[in-house]
Amino acid sequence: MGLRNGAREPSTSDATALVGVSAIPGADRAASALSDADYADAFSLATGVVASPEQWARAMFGDVPGPAQQFIWRGLLGIRLRRGRSPRTVAGWRIAAASERWVRLEAASWFLSAELVVRTFEGGVSLSTFVRYDRAAARIVWPPLSAVHRLLIPGVLRTAVEIRSRDQRR
């Protein structure tokens, strides 16, 4: 899977990646409230599994953040996550807005603001990440972590498909 600005043909085993604010599909940009984002990426995966955007978000991240998520989000990024299970949060991220086709999760730290937009489309699901650098530290911290983020997200999408497939069979 190569990363580049531009679309690739999706397959059921391969996530398509777009990196750069200008490369993000209009539907994902429209769902974001960070019109001044400094970083953005979008990953999509073709699947026949059907679920609501919130169901996909919960399959991707869970109801509460796990140890690895806590380490990355709270430890490395200093993101303030909400505690406990709630119908208004996904893995501690606040559900800021939602529609029939997308859900936007928001969180922030002292140096950056972030959004995760989970969107469904005919035959697939996508996850877009938007980051705004609120302080200079974000320009130092986020770029190396974004490389790790881009390596992890295809697996997050594939695991979510497995989870939703199991849930649908029940």
Q: What is the mean pLDDT of the chain?
A: 89
Helices (H) then strands (E): counts for the chain: 4, 7
What is the number of other CB atoms lying within 10 angstroms of the CB of residue 98? 16
pLDDT band at residue 15, thresholds of 50, 70 and 90?
A: confident
Q: What is the pLDDT of residues 61-112, one digit of tens each?
A: 999 988 889 999 999 999 999 988 889 999 999 999 999 999 999 999 999 9
**Amino acid 13: pLDDT:** 54
* Residue in this structure with the two tokens 């397959």, named with its chain if needed: 11
> Has residue 55 got a pLDDT over 50?
yes
User: What value does the mean pLDDT take over residues 148-163?
Assistant: 95
* Residue in this structure with the two tokens 């604010």, named with its chain if needed: 21
Domains of the chain: 16-169 (3.30.530)
**High-pLDDT (> 90) share of the chain, %:** 75
Rounded Cα distance between 77 and 108, Å, is 9
Q: Which residues contact 79 (CB under 8 A, 6 or more apart)?
A: 73, 107, 108, 109, 114
> Has residue 1 got a pLDDT over 50?
no
Rounded Cα distance between 93 and 106, Å, is 6
